[in-house]
């Protein structure tokens, strides 16, 4: 179990080929936070392609790479310009398929109405067609699989089963983590479901963008081995402090 304070591409070079059982992460959203600024969407997607190509090499055949990503809103620069949304999830699917992954599932993470910014205020007042803007209460959980020359049955085990109460459809209603020190935390409840549904106890799980370290914390609680990468040194110090309390 290791936390690397470095660019995830450096960590991935140290990991043995086809040794990871699951990759679960929430990559930095393009220009949505001060720590995720890029010159263009093209340069952002080029960076993500480089990362997930390395991930592909390290992931075992017939195992999953699960990505939490959502469209991002770019605010208008001035009153004479307009805001616009960049549909990042729809860029990720063709990128991942180009690398070689198989697309499996699109799961929707639904947040409570009061947990998101209100975009509907001005429309509520004037109700003018064409100016409608809904509040964005969803994010995507995209599930990809590394292809294998054998059926999934070969990697299934009988000694660990998912308990009752599992999600029966692809809309997961989960509250965001509002008590976390990180500006964009990955909710524990979300990671717990992913880890439970797509790995076994003792499996090795990797998160290339650790953030607040939720993946490592969940894996420790659920009996999985874990590796995380986080380039921000201050975040790493806080992750170590948090995990030491578990």
pLDDT digits (tens, 9 = 90+) for 85-97: 889 999 999 999 9
Pairing verdict, β 102-110 and 138-145? antiparallel
Q: Provide the pLDDT for residue 181.
A: 67
CA distance 15 to 189: 27
pLDDT of residue 36: 67
Token readout for 167 is 């999600």
Q: Which of 145, 3, 132 is nearest to 67 (CA)?
A: 145
Strand partners, 136: none
What is the rounded average pLDDT of the residues 224-242?
Answer: 93
Residue 179: alpha-carbon gap to chain centroid: 19
User: Residue 33 — very low, low, confident or very high, per pLDDT cuts 50/70/90?
Assistant: low
- Across 40-54, 143-157, 167-181, 217-231, least confident range: 167-181
Q: Which domains does the chain have, with CATH numbers?
A: 2-244 (3.40.50.150)
Q: What is the pLDDT at residue 161?
A: 87
153-175 per-position pLDDT tens digit: 999 988 788 989 999 999 999 99
pTM value surpassing 0.85: yes
Q: Across the beta sheet with 204-207, what order do the strands follow?
A: 2-4, 225-229, 204-207, 20-25, 59-69, 138-145, 102-110, 171-173
Q: What is the mean predicted confidence (pLDDT) over 214-223?
A: 95
pLDDT at 214: 94
Where residue 163 falls (left for φ over 0; alpha for ψ -120 to 50; beta otherwise) is beta
pLDDT exceeding 90 applies to what percent of the chain? 66
Say if residue 81's pLDDT is above 90: no
For residue range 95-146, list pLDDT tens digits in order.
999 999 999 999 999 998 877 778 777 777 888 888 888 888 999 999 999 9
Rounded distance between C-alpha atoms, residue 114 and residue 231, angstroms: 32
Confidence class of residue 179 from pLDDT cuts 50, 70 and 90? confident
pLDDT of residue 178: 73
Per the prediction, the chain carries an average pLDDT of 90
- CA nearest to 137, candidates 155, 157, 158, 119: 119
Residue 172 has φ and ψ, to the nearest 5°, of -105, 120
């Amino acid at each position: 179990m290791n936390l690397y304070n470095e660019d995830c591409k450096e960590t991935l070079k140290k990991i043995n080929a086809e040794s990871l059982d699951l990759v679960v992460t929430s990559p930095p959203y393009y220009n949505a936070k001060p720590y995720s600024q890029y010159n263009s969407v093209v340069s952002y997607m080029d960076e993500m392609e480089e990362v997930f190509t390395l991930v592909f090499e390290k992931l075992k055949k017939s195992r999953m790479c699960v990505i939490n990503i959502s469209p991002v809103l770019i605010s208008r620069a001035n009153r004479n310009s307009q805001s616009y949304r960049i549909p990042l999830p729809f860029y990720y699917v063709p990128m991942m398929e180009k690398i070689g992954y198989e697309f499996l599932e699109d799961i929707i993470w639904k947040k409570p109405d009061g947990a998101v910014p209100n975009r509907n205020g001005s429309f509520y007042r004037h109700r003018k067609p064409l100016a409608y803007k809904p509040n964005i209460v969803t994010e995507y959980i995209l599930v990809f699989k590394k292809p294998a020359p054998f059926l999934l049955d070969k990697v299934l085990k009988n000694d660990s089963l998912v308990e009752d109460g599992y999600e029966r459809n692809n809309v997961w209603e989960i509250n965001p983590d509002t008590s976390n020190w990180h500006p964009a935390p990955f909710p524990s409840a979300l990671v717990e479901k992913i880890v439970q549904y797509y790995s076994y106890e003792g499996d090795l799980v990797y998160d290339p963008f650790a953030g607040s370290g939720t993946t490592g914390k969940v894996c420790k609680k659920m009996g999985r081995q874990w590796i995380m990468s986080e380039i921000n040194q201050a975040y790493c110090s806080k992750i170590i402090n948090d995990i030491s309390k578990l």
